[in-house]
A and B are shown apart, each in its own frame.
Chain A
Amino acid sequence: MRRLAVQNLTGKPVRTAVLTVLAALLALAVFGGSLIVTSLRTGLHSLEDRLGADIMVVPYEATTKTNLEAIVLQGATGYFYMDNARAEKVLAREGIGQASEQFFLASASTGCCSLSVQIIGFDPQTDFSITPWIRRSFGGELQKYDVVVGNDLNAFVGDTLQFYGTEVHVAAKLAKTGTAYDTAVFTGEDTIKALIASSVERGMNQFTVDPDKVVSCILINAADGYTPEEVVNDINIHVKKVKAIQTKEMISGISDSLSGVRDVIGVLMAAVWVLGLAILLLAFTMSVNERRKEFAVLRVIGASRGMLAGLVLREALLTGVCGGMLGGVIGLAVIVPFNRAIEEQLGLPFLLPGAGTVIGYFAAAVILTALAGAAAAGIAALRISRMDTGLILRGDN
């Protein structure tokens, strides 16, 4: 009987191919949908981790002239500066636990490419948001003209990059985050000040600032006994020409988009499954109806009702497993290599989960598809077990 199931499937290649493609479609829907939704969720969590501070204080112009969220969250290159006097006023407020200044600079196009790179400078003495993350990839101290590159930058440890005519050395490459930080360059305060000065000297940027007298933003963690809301309100009320923002508010837009995308994918997955299951049920019922005489002959030569039902179920399981694996492989071949293109299209943080999770989803999709096929065939198998062999062989319905 085991061989008979395989022979039945290979003997009717077109029918088998159609059922396998249907099963593949179901598996692709569940595997692809789950993988995309999980990657988006992982990307958002990664972004939350990387922001690493309760509050971000930027010059007020940054919120009006430039798209702050695009720069901070989506990797758009840009810069804004406030003078040290304003920064000192912010730092003098109550309720500030940890505080660290950052400097933004958008590079001119690098040697190889037409696109510019966002350079983020931080003060290693006070930094609490970037250093813990860099520590995972780089144990040493960043020297002057050392940079740490995001994972999506095509530069490697030991390479030399040139920004505004100044050569910098790649000291480390960060792990992938699925966020805008993957295409950024991080460096110490000394280096970025040298780069800002170099860009001003060469007239390659539209601003004229003294890098020793400005900062781009201040990252703040609220002190014990204070909530981030209290500190944000205090800064916004008492310090002029700056804007304090809770980082959670910044990513709420992304969170809303993610929820929308998840709903759309969920509806699509459900639609594909309802349609696929209906077609599978129809296909198995039609197939069993077509093969009534074949089953009747098997009954006559001694096959029990249970054996016939088992045969149909075995065929369905084989089709489901093969189709499920095909769908899973197609899903892998599309989503894994093209994940950056998907991220680009969705415009949301996108980080593929670990290999274990991907394998788990793959296995779940195959099992679910095989079970769905078996369930659809089960109804057909029930019909076989009830059929009257004598009537069928006589040609009566």
Chain B
Amino acid sequence: MKQNEKTTRILSVILLILSAALMLGVKLVFHACGAKEDGSWMTCHWAENAVCASGAVMTVISVIALCLKGRARAGAAFSLVPAAVVTALLPQVCIRMCMMNDMRCHAMMRPAVILLCAVIGVLAAVTGVMANREEG
């Protein structure tokens, strides 16, 4: 059981890193398209903001999962699964993005968000299942 707890703690740290990477990365690394010439924003900018906000929520949940043990950790980890699914759907499905698929929001932001959310979702589910077996 001790080994199991150690593993779920490591997984929780990885989840925290990935959630923080999502929150910061969408603003700094795989951000959406820039502003138009007139200074106004394209719709993908709002998708970027929504993903950043969602990433912040997932980061907080990951911190909670790291601080808790057993079934409480499992609950926090499981709650990350729907959060990751919804976040992956934010660009394009919930908030429609730019006109051309070769624009940065389609070419970089959306695939990076989907990839990170998929990894977070799978790891959160594994963490939840393993933490559920812990005592306490």
A-B contact pairs, 13 of them (CB 8 A): A75-B102, A113-B99, A113-B100, A114-B36, A117-B100, A154-B97, A154-B98, A154-B100, A183-B101, A338-B111, A338-B112, A340-B107, A341-B107
A134 and B70 alpha carbons, distance in the complex (Å): 59
Partner of B100, one of A183, A333, A338: A183
Judged by a CB distance under 8 angstroms, whether B6 is at the interface is no
**Are A115 and B37 interface neighbours, CB within 8 A?**
no
**Are B108 and A152 interface neighbours, CB within 8 A?**
no
Judged by a CB distance under 8 angstroms, whether B94 is at the interface is no
Partner of A114, one of B42, B96, B108: B42
Judged by a CB distance under 8 angstroms, whether B33 is at the interface is yes
Nearest chain B residue, comparing its CB with the CB of A107 = B99
A153 and B107 alpha carbons, distance in the complex (Å): 12
Partner of B33, one of A113, A152, A333, A340: A113
**Are A153 and B101 interface neighbours, CB within 8 A?**
yes
Interface centre among B34, B96, B99, B108, by most A CB within 10 Å?
Answer: B99
Q: Which residues of A315-337 have CB atoms within 8 Å of chain B's CB atoms?
A: 333, 337
Nearest chain A residue, comparing its CB with the CB of B38 = A114
A345 to chain B, nearest CB (A): 10
A75 and B100 alpha carbons, distance in the complex (Å): 11
Judged by a CB distance under 8 angstroms, whether B114 is at the interface is yes
Decide yes or no: A114 and B33 within 8 Å by CB, A338-B108, A338-B111 being known contacts. yes
**Are A109 and B100 interface neighbours, CB within 8 A?**
no
Q: Which residues of B24-43 have CB atoms within 8 Å of chain A's CB atoms?
A: 33-37, 42-43
Decide yes or no: A154 and B102 within 8 Å by CB, A112-B42, A114-B33, A341-B108 being known contacts. no
Interface string of A22-40 (1 = CB under 8 A from B): 0000000000000000000
A156 to chain B, nearest CB (A): 10
A349 and B114 alpha carbons, distance in the complex (Å): 24
Judged by a CB distance under 8 angstroms, whether B85 is at the interface is no
Chain A residues with CB under 8 A of B96: 112, 154
Interface size classification for chain A: 20 to 34
Chain A residues with CB under 8 A of B114: 337
A128 to chain B, nearest CB (A): 27
Judged by a CB distance under 8 angstroms, whether B103 is at the interface is yes
Chain B residues with CB under 8 A of A341: 107-108, 111
Judged by a CB distance under 8 angstroms, whether A344 is at the interface is yes
A112 and B43 alpha carbons, distance in the complex (Å): 7
Nearest chain B residue, comparing its CB with the CB of A151 = B101
Interface centre among B34, B92, B103, B112, by most A CB within 10 Å?
Answer: B103
**Are A155 and B99 interface neighbours, CB within 8 A?**
yes
Q: Which residues of B73-109 have CB atoms within 8 Å of chain A's CB atoms?
A: 92, 96-103, 106-108
Judged by a CB distance under 8 angstroms, whether B10 is at the interface is no
**Are B98 and A344 interface neighbours, CB within 8 A?**
no
**Are A117 and B99 interface neighbours, CB within 8 A?**
yes
A114 and B110 alpha carbons, distance in the complex (Å): 18
Chain B residues with CB under 8 A of A114: 33-37, 42
Interface size classification for chain B: 20 to 34
Nearest chain A residue, comparing its CB with the CB of B40 = A114
Decide yes or no: A152 and B101 within 8 Å by CB, A112-B42, A337-B114, A341-B107 being known contacts. yes
Q: Please provide the 6 A-B residue pairs with the shortest distance between their CB atoms, ordered closest to farther.
A: A337-B111, A152-B101, A340-B107, A114-B36, A341-B107, A113-B99
Interface contacts beyond A113-B103, A338-B108: sample of 17 additional A-B pairs, CB < 8 Å, sorted by A: A109-B36, A110-B99, A113-B42, A115-B99, A154-B92, A154-B96, A154-B98, A154-B99, A154-B106, A182-B102, A183-B102, A337-B110, A337-B115, A338-B107, A340-B106, A341-B108, A341-B111
Chain A residues with CB under 8 A of B108: 338, 341
Partner of A112, one of B99, B102, B112: B99
Judged by a CB distance under 8 angstroms, whether A343 is at the interface is yes
A117 and B36 alpha carbons, distance in the complex (Å): 15
Q: Which residues of B95-136 have CB atoms within 8 Å of chain A's CB atoms?
A: 96-103, 106-108, 110-112, 114-115
Chain B residues with CB under 8 A of A343: 102
A341 and B108 alpha carbons, distance in the complex (Å): 6
**Are B115 and A333 interface neighbours, CB within 8 A?**
yes
A218 to chain B, nearest CB (A): 28
B103 to chain A, nearest CB (A): 6
Nearest chain B residue, comparing its CB with the CB of A341 = B107
**Are A113 and B102 interface neighbours, CB within 8 A?**
no
Decide yes or no: A152 and B100 within 8 Å by CB, A338-B108, A341-B107, A344-B107 being known contacts. yes
A10 to chain B, nearest CB (A): 13
A159 to chain B, nearest CB (A): 11
A222 and B15 alpha carbons, distance in the complex (Å): 63
Nearest chain A residue, comparing its CB with the CB of B106 = A340
